[in-house]
Amino acid sequence: MKPYHPENFWEKTHSEVPTERVGKGEGIRSVGGGSCASEALYLYRLRTLAMRRAIAAARKHGLRTDVARVLEFGCGSGYWLQELPEVLGSAHFSYTGADISPTAIARLEQNSPKQSFVCLHDPTIGWQKIAAQGPFTLTLAIDVLYHITDDKVWRSSLSHFCLNTAPGGFLIFSDYGYTEPKANPSSTHVKHRSLQEYLKELENHDMDVVAIVPKFYFFNRIKYGPWRDHGMTVAAVWRLADKFRPLMHLLYLADSLITQLIKPMDPHCKTRFFVCRKRDTASEKKD
């Protein structure tokens, strides 16, 4: 496999998708995952269902969605920007999107001129611009952090997310939460990190994990070959589902139900949302 250079990889990924096909990002397999267009579609639907549960959990811990100031790192084709009014239950929020792909940012600036976008091709300048617009009551890093394979850059990025989240505000990010073998044959651009690694960094920035929301159960796992993490029966069902959309839809329905019932850190769940609240230390001292 070719070496992974994030800036080149994601710029190539976005620039190779014709503008007329971008839409909400659905069906762009190289960005959203899935071995076929229908699977990519259902992956996005499952992400949205899980995000609604994550936002609901944040509300219980004090998130004001009617006046949210949102920062999204890895805004890509703008999927979450378009979903946020429904997910938040309000259209009254400000939004700043950031990405390392100049093409992704240019398209979003053209399609959503009322919002703010920052290209992080030069991280130093980019984060300065973001800091000038912050802090934010809700910071999102959806399916982003595990694509940062350099530990130093990962730690720096997570630090920036925390620093730009307002006291009492929320950070929602996604990862697997367990350490996986680095020698995964299909993922030079993926490096999962354990929950303990995240907790150590989050604690340094006064962040508490207040909820964990599973995203996928059958979906988004290695289906074939020696690295398959499905049993033989489920793997056989997947082979049929890749050809017959009704069966794919049944797997989606099963996934959407199971992810609401299983324990948050069930190892069968491939990825999950971590909902974090930043301590308002100033208010706590006054109290």
> pLDDT per residue over 191-240, tens digit each?
888 899 999 999 999 999 999 999 999 888 777 666 677 777 888 888 88
pLDDT of the residue at 41:
83
Place of tokens 């952090």: 145
The residue-averaged pLDDT of 110-133 equals: 93
Q: Is 91 helix (H, G, I), strand (E, B) or coil?
A: coil
The closest of 82, 13, 18, 12 to 47, measured between CA atoms, is 82
Q: How far apart are the first and last CA of the chain?
A: 56
> Binning pLDDT at 50, 70 and 90, where does residue 27 land?
very low
> pLDDT per residue over 159-178, tens digit each?
999 999 999 999 999 998 87
- Dihedral angle over CA of 185, 187, 190, 191, nearest 10: 0
- In the chain the domains, ranked by start, together with CATH numbers, are 6-16+33-286 (3.40.50.150)
The closest of 117, 94, 170 to 139, measured between CA atoms, is 170
- Please state the pTM of the whole predicted model: 0.90
> Binning pLDDT at 50, 70 and 90, where does residue 32 land?
low
Residue 183 has phi, psi (to 5 degrees) of -80, 35
The closest of 158, 273, 162 to 210, measured between CA atoms, is 273
Pairwise CA distance, residues 166 & 238, whole Å: 43
- Dihedral angle over CA of 222, 228, 234, 239, nearest 10: 70
> Binning pLDDT at 50, 70 and 90, where does residue 185 land?
very low
> Binning pLDDT at 50, 70 and 90, where does residue 183 land?
very low
Q: What are the start-end ranges of the H helices in the chain?
A: 6-15, 19-22, 29-32, 37-60, 79-88, 102-111, 123-133, 151-163, 195-204, 232-241, 245-261, 281-286
Q: What is the DSSP letter of 12?
A: H
